[in-house]
Structure 1
Amino acid sequence: MNTRKIWFVTGASKGLGLTLVNQLLAQGHQVAATSRNLEELSSAVQGATPENFLPLSVDIVSEKSVATAIEATVSRFGGLDVVVNNAGYGLLGSLEELSDAESRTNFDVNVFGTLNVIRQAMPHLRNQQSGHIFNISSIGGFYGNFPGWGIYCATKFAVQGLTESLSAEVKEFGIHATVVSPGYFRTNFLAAGGVVTPQNQLEAYAAVRESERQHQESINGNQPGDPEKGVALIIEAAFDENPPLHLFLGQDAYDMAYVKIDAIKSDLESWKSKTVSTGF
């Protein structure tokens, strides 16, 4: 088994992305890492040398920018093995509060940015008949019962769905796809800049304002997930012969997934006789 791979990681200047890049470099992998801020990325990464690290300034919503970055990666390292679509940001506001522009921008980054990377990486992976694409979603992409997180959850639900289809599409080429659904991990995701709030807030949404307060004042800095352990599991999955399509990270993610599964089962069984009666 090849113990060194060529990785392409987006959103790598902070959070899980940065932790992942640092672990990969410590293990001797070759890593191309992207960020909007090249200086911030380069200063945050540890133990990097030109032989194993390629920092790239990328506008994830620009397909041309992404294409240039993928080509630079292949040119520098001679190939591409693992893609991690980690770039994204949180958006906390009720569906009524958030403007069309605010909502679309979240989709542009969290969903269409991911699709830009997939489109540009796939020809290389398909030609070599191997590879692995990890799309970082969230437990909020599987379980959406979070007031104020509707648009963000919608983007992450989209990532879940497109990864399931991607897995089915690329299987014949020997390529794996995994959607990663973390719970709360102790990163700077909830810090300033990580989560955007509506420009025009409606105070009528008490539950949304309370969610905002809790995430900023109580949850931030007290998340139960250890980023080092979380990204170690992603790396482990990249070397597994039969990696999971769905990789949940954290006890909280595991528990909330089963809350959703049990709720679906309850609805299915409660309405079964009517559900199955709708055929000809």
Structure 2
Amino acid sequence: MTTKKIWFVTGASKGLGLTLVQQLLTAGYAVAATSRNVEELKRAVPLKTDQFLPLAMDLGNEDSVRQAIETTISTLGGLDVVVNNAGYGQIGALEELSDQEARNNFEVNVFGMLNVIRYATPHLRQQGSGRVFNISSIGGISGDFPGWGVYCATKFAVAGLTESYAAEVKPFGVYATVVYPGYFRTEFLSAGSVGKPQTPIDAYQAVRDSQTAHEQQINGNQPGDPQKAMELLIQVSESENPPVHLLLGADAYQLAGQKMATLQHDMQQWQEAATATAFVEA
């Protein structure tokens, strides 16, 4: 019998997902890790052990997701912690992005995550325990980033669905957490992880400035240490009562604080008029 939890991590060939898988294996956990390109994953984690199960998985294909979950349970002997980490960024003003560009981002960041939840939850529910971490972004709390509207929309969706999911599965002993990383020094802002608008519009200077800043100034200089972030995630996974909301990074806390201050200001500005909208009974 294993004494440590069995993990299932999506988007594991790079970034926070890869860092997490490496730390879990070092700590002696059993890990099923998925990627669109399993050979890339095997190169990134060349470890040969029966505790590591690299899997090719297409998030957009329900059969592929179901098979990955079933293979994890049959090969490693169970499933305890799910980390929905796979996703990518999409830059572009809302007017610039085509319907397909927007939908593609939602297909991976939201509907792919839902596919994993749909097939992992029956097992967690029936065994009466489990942890699910859905990786959002500080862009899932604050959308005040020109050119990141569709990406932020996907991450707001991740936050909302996780809140509801947490309420749904808590009676079964399953805990769900939405994770909001700030800027961490991974490949997230590199070309392979960020989509650019196919038909940019010259008028959106603020969007171009934001795009340039993320690609040239922020990329490679992010303040967050991925190792420390994933150490904390593992620590939270072992806590008796994990939070529904987990912010990662001082910058995430700062931006969330700014959002809450803005929300409070806007609420107070219109509170008297907005709360006087009920029916007046005769």
Amino acid at match of 2:171: E
Kindly state the Cα deviation for residue 50 of structure 1 after the two structures are TM-superposed: 3.4
Name the structure 2 match of 1:40.
40
Kindly state the Cα deviation for residue 51 of structure 1 after the two structures are TM-superposed: 1.4
Kindly state the Cα deviation for residue 84 of structure 1 after the two structures are TM-superposed: 0.2
Name the structure 2 match of 1:191.
190
Quote the Cα distance in structure 1 between the aligned partners of 2:108 and 2:27: 30
Quote the Cα distance in structure 2 between the aligned partners of 1:131 and 1:74: 13
Quote the Cα distance in structure 2 between the aligned partners of 1:197 and 1:150: 13
Quote the Cα distance in structure 2 between the aligned partners of 1:3 and 1:78: 12
Kindly state the Cα deviation for residue 77 of structure 1 after the two structures are TM-superposed: 1.0
Name the structure 2 match of 1:178.
177
Counterpart secondary structure, 1:80:
coil
The equivalences for 1:50-199 within 5 A come to: 50-199=49-198
Q: Residues 6-63 of structure 1: CA distance to partner in whole angstroms, max 9, x if unpaired?
A: 00000000000000000000000000000011111011015x3331000000001111
Amino acid at match of 2:15: G
Name the structure 1 match of 2:23.
23
Quote the Cα distance in structure 2 between the aligned partners of 1:267 and 1:241: 37
Kindly state the Cα deviation for residue 267 of structure 1 after the two structures are TM-superposed: 1.2
Amino acid at match of 1:10: T
Quote the Cα distance in structure 2 between the aligned partners of 1:193 and 1:210: 20
Quote the Cα distance in structure 2 between the aligned partners of 1:14 and 1:242: 29
Q: Residues 92-140 of structure 1: CA distance to partner in whole angstroms, max 9, x if unpaired?
A: 0000000000000000000000000000000100110000100000000
- TM-score, length-normalised on structure 2? 0.97
Counterpart secondary structure, 2:207:
helix
Give the ranges of 4+ consecutive aligned residues of structure 1 lying more than 2 Å apart after TM superposition: none
Quote the Cα distance in structure 1 between the aligned partners of 2:33 and 2:212: 33
Quote the Cα distance in structure 1 between the aligned partners of 2:10 and 2:125: 20
Amino acid at match of 2:224: G
Quote the Cα distance in structure 2 between the aligned partners of 1:3 and 1:156: 34
Amino acid at match of 1:6: I
* Aligned residues: CA RMSD: 0.9
Question: Cα gap change, 1:109/1:87 in structure 2, threshold over 3 Å: closer, same or farther?
Answer: same
Kindly state the Cα deviation for residue 213 of structure 1 after the two structures are TM-superposed: 0.5
Amino acid at match of 1:92: I
Question: Cα gap change, 1:251/1:79 in structure 2, threshold over 3 Å: closer, same or farther?
Answer: same
Amino acid at match of 2:272: S
Amino acid at match of 2:30: Q
Quote the Cα distance in structure 2 between the aligned partners of 1:95 and 1:3: 49
Counterpart secondary structure, 2:192:
coil
Amino acid at match of 1:236: Q
Q: Out of 263-272 and 66-75, give the one that drifted further.
A: 263-272
Quote the Cα distance in structure 2 between the aligned partners of 1:131 and 1:166: 13
Amino acid at match of 1:231: M
Quote the Cα distance in structure 2 between the aligned partners of 1:78 and 1:3: 12
Name the structure 2 match of 1:211.
210
Amino acid at match of 2:41: L
Question: Cα gap change, 1:3/1:211 in structure 2, threshold over 3 Å: closer, same or farther?
Answer: farther
Name the structure 2 match of 1:265.
264
Name the structure 2 match of 1:231.
230
Q: Out of 267-276 and 179-188, give the one that drifted further.
A: 267-276
Counterpart secondary structure, 2:59:
coil
Kindly state the Cα deviation for residue 83 of structure 1 after the two structures are TM-superposed: 0.2
Counterpart secondary structure, 2:82:
strand
